[in-house]
Amino acid sequence: MTYTTFYESPVGCLTLASDGKALTGLWIEGQKYYLGSLKEMPPRRDDLPVFAQVKDWLDRYFGGERPRPEELPLDPPGNDFRKMIWRYLIEIPYGELTTYKMLAQRAAAELSHGDHAPGTENTQGYEPVSKSFAGCRKTMSAQAVGGAVGHNPISIIIPCHRVVGTDGSLTGYAGGIDVKIRLLELEGVDLAGLHRPGE
């Protein structure tokens, strides 16, 4: 059974979903892929302990603190490839950026070498994949990674807003470019060198 509740944030109303134990979804109102694979809005239940945890996390995040995704029970539904990419997103530090290309290099390395790919041993620490996986023979398209990033069902907490194009393009955020910019500004990211698609 899936339940929902709502959270009024500086970037709009957020819909939270849970199976009663873990957070399974967090969507920004009006975003692409709103509600993910759910066919209709699940029943509302505001008293779940996991929702209280998530709302406290969001209060701290929007208050300028740096809560970590690992503080919360997260269980985003998806296939193994998407879950691998979402794990990479969780490892991107607050206020830092990576690119779709770098994520693709890391995914290619992990799929080539299994769980023992260089740089994957420490899942709590983020390492720039351009250094960790240089020389890997297997390749993967940034578009494939972009699809996984775009279908991230737990926005903000699994920080897909920290991924940009190799050329600095602020592209591919399901919540919209304006929301992406607001989240990066909140985290103190230097937006110099970044631009909207087509600019």
DSSP single-letter state for residue 17: E
Neighbouring-strand partners of residue 25: 17
> Coil, helix or strand for 24?
strand
Contact between 169 and 141 under an 8 Å Cβ cutoff? The reply is no
Contact between 14 and 47 under an 8 Å Cβ cutoff? The reply is no
Angle between the N-to-C axes of helices 100-113 and 142-150, in degrees from 0 to 180, rounded to the nearest 10: 100
Q: Is 160 a catalytic residue?
A: yes
Neighbouring-strand partners of residue 169: 195
Which one from 14, 108, 160, 174 is the annotated catalytic residue?
160
Q: Which residues are catalytic?
A: 160
